[in-house]
Amino acid sequence: MDTIFLVLSLFLPRITLIIFFLLHHIPLNSVPFIGDILLTVFIPRALILIYIAQNLGTDSPWFWIHLVVAVMVYLGGGKKYRDYRKK
């Protein structure tokens, strides 16, 4: 896996997946094409975790970094929405 893919996908996962798809550099995976599309649209961080687990394994520090960031984003996103609704 490219290091640039791993770093960019931490901050901009959906855009990174689309750019790498258009450049034909998506990492090797066993996810069907329709799964790639649906996960890119709805849960891009989960798709990136699948890519990392299949290519680098779950022992990789990149897997754990992406997992922690995904949990923080999903748990923190609800708080921002609640604060916005209070105003």
Number of CB atoms found within 10 A of residue 6's CB? 20
pLDDT score, position 2: 86
| Residue pLDDT, tens place only, 59-76 | 999 999 999 999 988 887
DSSP designation for 35: H
Q: What does the pLDDT read at residue 54?
A: 94
Whether the CB-CB separation of 55 and 1 falls below 8 Å is answered with yes
Domain total in the chain: 1
Mean pLDDT score across all residues of the chain: 89
**Residue 63 tokens, joined:** 């897997």
Long-range contacts at 27-31 (CB < 8 A, ≥ 24 apart): 27/1, 27/51, 27/54, 27/55, 28/54, 28/55, 29/54, 29/55, 30/54
Question: In which domain, by residue range, is 7 found?
Answer: 3-86
User: pLDDT at residue 30 above 80?
Assistant: yes
| Residue tagged 């893919």 (tokens) | 5
